[in-house]
Amino acid sequence: MTVTDSSGAYVVLLATGGTISSRGSEAGGGAVASDTGEQVFASIGEPPAHPVRVVDVFRKGSYLLTVDDMIAICARIREALSAPEVLGVVVTHGTDTMEETAYLAALTHDDPRPVVFTGAQQAADSPSPDGPGNLARAIAVAGSPEARGKGVLLAFAGAIFPATGVRKCHTTKPEAFANPDFGTIGSVAESGEVSFKATPRQHAALPLPRAGAGPRVDLVAVYPGADAIQFRSSVQAGAAGIVLQGTGTGNANHPICQAVAEAAAAGVVVVTSTRVEAGAVVPVYGDGGGEDLHEAGAIPSGWLRPSQSLILLSVLLRLGEAPDRIAEAFALRGKAPDPERPAAGTPEQQKPTTSAVKG
């Protein structure tokens, strides 16, 4: 049911577009985000597990989103949670950049009530859309008492993932997401039954930066035979930060190491991640490898992949953090999660802080 008053508890649905709202254009072109939040909600076709209030944020394919758009979504999440009657928040979002927006939300989330991202792989007018089922399950998770203190989640095809480390793993299959390093933290059945495993420790929230002209942050890939032209072009374009998508454990070559040293000396913050699907970035190799990058001033991303490294670096730079503080933040937030430590929502994890490196 759609909430028309605030007399009881409810889940807020923030609709931002994506495949779950997309239909083929009348001119016969590609699918575009067109359905309103109410239309997306109505597609589930049966009473939800919890009452829902629908809010339209915008209707965009997530391949169009900017960091400012993602900040706007996070601001709407905070606005929704300002009402004490709200059980939790569901965000319908395109799958292309869901891992980025969900991670930004996780970095800045300071409320025990859950935020659940979901979407679809099949358009709303396809013969067998998966969006309605994903949305119904996400609503069940967002309103579940068991989800409190679990932070920001991604619910897709019955699996529940922590936002940190999640990434799109297939372009078309319904099982679109994976977390190769940390796995799932729960599941949700078609009936709405929610089950959780042990919850990783949640770091203290960062302040949500204001939308606006933030510093430029680029992503540059390393590949066989790569020179430093693309990297130096980013520096010349005014990048304040660069995420280097290295090979293996975070490696490059001699020309790129030299360019990194020059950029770091000029105040550009460089973070080294990897193109490899799983495992940590560990500075090991010399002769142009990851240890040389580290010596040149690059910051290892730990377990964070390029997409989420870019979000963390963008946030830290927008908050005005110095390079040494950014290195501390990546050392902390790029670690493997510890499920034995207290979960988010406990008193010690809910103390407000403005430090980027507080745990």
103-126: pLDDT as tens digits: 999 999 999 999 999 999 999 999
pLDDT confidence band for 353 (50 / 70 / 90): very low
> Which residue carries 């969900």 as its tokens?
102
pLDDT tens digits for range 41-90: 999 999 999 999 999 999 999 999 999 999 999 999 999 999 999 999 99
Distance in angstroms (rounded) separating the CA atoms of residues 94 and 337: 26
Q: What is the per-residue burial (b if ≥16 Cβ within 10 Å, else e) of 15-24?
A: bbbbbbbbbe
CA-based nearest residue to 231, from 263, 267, 188: 263
pLDDT > 90: what percent of the chain? 87
Distance in angstroms (rounded) separating the CA atoms of residues 277 and 242: 20
Q: Which amino acid is at 154?
A: L
3-state DSSP assignment of residue 139: helix
3-state DSSP assignment of residue 52: strand
Q: Which domains does the chain have, with CATH numbers?
A: 10-196 (3.40.50.1170), 217-333 (3.40.50.40)
Beta-carbon contacts of 162 under 8 Å, excluding residues fewer than 6 positions away, are 106, 150, 151, 152, 153, 154, 179, 182, 185, 200, 337
pLDDT confidence band for 242 (50 / 70 / 90): very high
Q: Say if residues 108 and 205 touch (Cβ distance below 8 Å).
A: yes
184 is catalytic: no
pLDDT tens digits for range 309-330: 999 999 999 999 999 999 999 9
Catalytic choice (19, 184, 247, 274): 19
Dihedral sign, CA of 258, 259, 262, 268? negative
